[in-house]
Amino acid sequence: MKFIEGGVCAAKGFTAAGIHCGIRKSRDKRDLSMIYSEITASAAAVYTTNLVKGAPIAVTKEHLQNGTARAVICNSGNANTCNADGVEIAGKMCASAAAALNISEDDIIVASTGVIGQPLDIAPITAKMPQLAESLSKDGCADAAEGIMTTDTVIKEVAVEFEAGGKTCRIGGIAKGSGMIHPNMATMLVFITSDAAISPEMLQKALKTDVETTFNMISIDGDTSTNDMVAVMANGLAGNDEITEDGEAFSAFMRALNTVNVYLCRMIAGDGEGATKLLECRVCGAPDENTAKTVAKSVICSSLIKAAMFGADANWGRVLCAVGYSGADVDVDKIGVSFKSAAGEIEVCRNGAGVEFSEEKAKAILLEKEIEILVSLGKGEAAATAWGCDLTYDYVKINGDYRT
């Protein structure tokens, strides 16, 4: 398996585009994106667990009941959530895209992201839909990725190439996510494409399984969004025998999907609102995976730990505190903690108690852009990883007037 260029356009038969249609006031910001498969693709998705859900989710769920799709349409700048006519507007987005692409509107995945509770004007979307469809190209991934961004500061895209059933296959993805991100699934918008041949049932199994150890392990700010969705389309143009059951080919697909998702997870966490550092908590020595995941998420969600990482303060007591209130069954007297980055690694706690360490070395380690918080529980062989970011002054600035 290797990383390649192209994002969602890397897979055969997929094109993408992103334009400014007028939802956002700034003409310099793209706000409408499309991804298109030249043939019908197997499709699967997972959605936010928030009881308050954006209208596009209801429409997409209905469209994906048959396990197939051909296109994604997504706007930014307005979440189309908590609007009386939200489902109607989402339906009109699909109808407009279907007309521009000459496909069935039931074959469209629709999504929206942005401000909650403000009416979404369909007029600028429908007016620019033909232009968007005409703009589709194999080079359109970056534009599409930009068109789904809200407070994101960087485009998030990735693609990999792998072998399945003796054929070369590709998986690519784009994502948006910077704030209102917290487990569980989903925690952002992610769109994934593949040219592998795989049945809708196995595609759904692959996605649902993988998000448990990837997107469900991110937290930026403790708020689970209303519009979160991870959707994947696989059109089979790679020519491999269709994956319809567990086996070597399905395992290869799962490894590639996980590689894409982990890459996007790290990009999302590192681009948290106001963030200056990517935090990765790796828990080992747990009696089972659930315990490891619970501890890792508790550490990465701690506001006090996030603030300490912003200040490059090796306050390991806060890590133990987060482990202790996580609800996991741990032996406090066996816990070990270390901090690691490109500047080195330093042990700060052993068997639940502090050890002597150089504050200067610890600070140098924590001043790096990517920091690993290593927690050993000393009770087994299970492990888990969670991702987050530091908590900075800019987070409050960004969210203090986000709507206005």
The pLDDT, as a whole number, for residue 56 is 94
Name the segment(s) of the chain with CATH classification 3.60.70.12.
Answer: 2-270
The pLDDT, as a whole number, for residue 21 is 97
Say which DSSP state 198 is in: B
The pLDDT, as a whole number, for residue 373 is 98
The pTM of the full predicted model, rounded to 2 decimals, is 0.91
pLDDT of the chain, 404 residues: tens digit per residue: 999 999 999 999 999 999 999 998 888 899 999 999 999 999 999 998 777 788 999 999 999 999 999 999 999 999 998 999 999 999 999 999 999 999 999 999 999 998 888 999 999 999 999 999 999 999 999 999 999 998 788 899 999 999 999 999 999 999 997 655 555 544 479 999 999 999 999 999 999 999 999 988 987 665 556 668 999 999 999 999 999 999 999 999 999 999 999 999 999 888 877 789 999 999 999 999 999 999 999 999 999 999 999 999 999 999 999 999 999 999 999 999 999 999 999 999 999 999 999 999 999 999 999 999 999 999 999 999 999 999 888 877 777 776 66
Catalytic residues: 187
The pLDDT, as a whole number, for residue 108 is 98
If you classify domain 278-400 with CATH, what class do you get? Answer: alpha beta
The pLDDT, as a whole number, for residue 326 is 96
Contacts of 209 (CB under 8 A, 6+ apart): 254
Report d(CA 249, CA 277) in Å as an integer.
Answer: 37
Say which DSSP state 169 is in: E
The pLDDT, as a whole number, for residue 401 is 74
CB-hemisphere CA count at 13 Å for 235?
24
Name the segment(s) of the chain with CATH classification 3.10.20.340.
Answer: 278-400
Contact 8, 191 (CB under 8 A): yes
The pLDDT, as a whole number, for residue 328 is 96
The pLDDT, as a whole number, for residue 399 is 72
CATH topology of domain 2-270: L-amino peptidase D-ALA esterase/amidase (3.60.70)
